[in-house]
């Protein structure tokens, strides 16, 4: 779950479940079910009554008391419920119900929408657990939360059908077994105890899972940012080194002595191997020329070779430069910079 900031400057539960807030939530979980008693789960109808499909009324997703709260009150209540791991229960005092009411007031709030989406999977599990233990009133309440969050959610129709089927089966069993009033009261008490304990454990685990997801996402974001900064630093260093090298070479070229034009005629070549003809240009029958500038050192070696002009451009440049670098001349009294034009003709 990503961190979102809601209106009014408050941070959503994604931030609150990390660090100290999560520790506080875990410390208070033991008493979270005692703050407000949840409605007693519905019992299967006695023999002689109509089946559950005839009596069932759609559960109200958001209570009137919650819907009447202001946006600021809903944000505060949702954050507190999240901190205390009251994610979808008890009815009338849980994070999902507060967020649904807040979404009704602020439909464009992306943080609220994200929180509801994250709560859906665990609420589906809680609905199935309530159905399986025969707590149909709680199952319908949780289903109403899911359906109001996203009526097209894939699990909605399946849950409706399986809850109705389970209620029908429970009614049939009740008619067959003829539960006494004392047995039914005990069954309800046991259901309530099981529901509170199961929901407490499930919400506690959900809170831990959400916190772990947040921590992993934060670590990954930190790693990616560090990698990006390191790559930017290396690229800046590379560019700076290239700039300094270019400046050094240009300074050296500018500082190199410029002998009189007649000095170039004093050069006596020892070895001037011809350049290699580029295969692509040879196959295409392309001809051209490259004028290069280079400096002959006092020992006759060649340095500072660069292309002055090339026709056609970038076809013969590399081979011309590579060839001139291999040239050797007789030693001279001082470095001599000169230019030569190298012709490329496929017929020669």
pLDDT, the chain, mean: 83
pLDDT of residue 36: 37
pLDDT tens by residue, 115-142: 999 999 999 999 999 999 999 999 999 9
pLDDT tens by residue, 63-81: 999 999 999 999 999 999 9
Cβ-contact 16, 79 below 8 angstroms: yes
Please provide the DSSP assignment of 209-238 as one string: HHHHHHHHHHHHHHHHHHHHHHHHHHHHHH
Q: Is residue 72 part of a domain?
A: yes
CATH code assigned at 312? 3.30.2420.10
Instruction: Quote the number of domains for the chain.
Output: 2
Q: For the whole model, what pTM was predicted?
A: 0.45
pLDDT of residue 56: 52
Q: Is residue 240 part of a domain?
A: no
Q: Is residue 251 part of a domain?
A: no
Residue with more model confidence, 299 or 264: 299
pLDDT of residue 255: 76
In the predicted structure, residue 283 carries a pLDDT above the cut 60: yes
pLDDT of residue 159: 96
Which of 135-151 are b and which e, b meaning 16 or more Cβ less than 10 Å from the residue's Cβ? Answer: bbbbbbbbbbbbbbbee
Residue with more model confidence, 296 or 10: 296
pLDDT of residue 59: 75
- In this structure, the answer to whether residues 39 and 119 fall within a common structural domain is yes
Q: Is residue 234 part of a domain?
A: no
End of a domain among 202, 228, 254?
228
pLDDT tens by residue, 19-57: 333 333 333 333 333 333 333 333 334 433 344 444 455
Q: Is residue 239 part of a domain?
A: no
pLDDT band at 18 (very low <50, low <70, confident <90, very high): very low
End of a domain among 181, 204, 228?
228
- In this structure, the answer to whether residues 113 and 166 fall within a common structural domain is yes
Alpha helices in the chain (DSSP H): 13-16, 19-28, 52-55, 64-67, 71-83, 95-105, 110-132, 136-149, 155-177, 181-255, 261-264, 279-284, 317-325
Phi-psi region of 12 (alpha: psi -120 to 50; beta: other; left: phi over 0): beta
pLDDT tens by residue, 251-280: 887 776 554 443 688 899 999 999 999 999
Q: Is residue 233 part of a domain?
A: no
- In this structure, the answer to whether residues 286 and 184 fall within a common structural domain is no
pLDDT of residue 258: 55
Cβ-contact 338, 267 below 8 angstroms: yes
- In this structure, the answer to whether residues 208 and 322 fall within a common structural domain is no
- In this structure, the answer to whether residues 211 and 271 fall within a common structural domain is no
Q: What's the domain range around 80? A: 7-228
């Amino acid at each position: 779950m990503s961190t979102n900031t809601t209106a009014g400057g408050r941070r959503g539960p994604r931030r609150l479940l990390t660090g100290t807030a999560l520790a506080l939530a875990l410390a208070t979980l033991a008493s979270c079910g005692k703050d407000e008693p949840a409605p007693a789960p519905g019992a299967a109808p006695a023999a002689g009554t109509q089946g559950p499909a005839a009596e069932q009324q759609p559960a109200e997703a958001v209570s009137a008391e919650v819907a009447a709260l202001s946006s600021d009150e809903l944000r505060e209540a949702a954050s507190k419920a999240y901190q205390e791991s009251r994610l979808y229960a008890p009815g009338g005092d849980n994070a999902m119900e507060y967020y649904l009411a807040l979404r009704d007031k602020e439909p464009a709030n992306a943080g609220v929408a994200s929180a509801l989406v994250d709560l859906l999977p665990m609420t589906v599990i809680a609905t199935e657990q309530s159905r399986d233990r025969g707590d149909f009133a709680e199952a319908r309440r949780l289903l109403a939360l899911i359906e109001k969050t996203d009526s097209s959610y894939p699990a909605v129709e399946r849950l409706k059908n399986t809850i109705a089927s389970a209620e029908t089966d429970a009614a049939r069993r009740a008619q067959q077994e003829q539960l006494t009033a004392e047995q039914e009261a005990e069954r309800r008490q046991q259901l309530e105890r099981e529901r509170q304990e199961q929901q407490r454990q499930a919400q506690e685990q959900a809170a831990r899972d959400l916190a772990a997801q947040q921590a992993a996402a934060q670590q990954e974001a930190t790693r990616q940012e560090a990698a990006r900064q390191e790559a930017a630093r290396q690229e800046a260093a590379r560019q700076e080194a290239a700039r300094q090298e270019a400046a050094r070479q240009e300074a050296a070229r500018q500082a190199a002595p410029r002998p009189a034009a007649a000095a170039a005629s004093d050069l006596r070549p020892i070895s001037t191997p011809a350049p290699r003809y580029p295969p692509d240009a040879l196959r295409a029958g392309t001809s051209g020329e490259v004028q290069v500038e280079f400096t002959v050192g006092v020992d006759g070696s060649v340095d500072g070779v660069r292309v002055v002009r090339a026709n056609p451009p970038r076809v013969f440049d590399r081979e011309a430069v590579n060839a001139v670098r291999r040239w050797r001349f007789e030693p001279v009294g001082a470095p001599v910079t000169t230019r030569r034009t190298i012709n490329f003709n496929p017929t020669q």
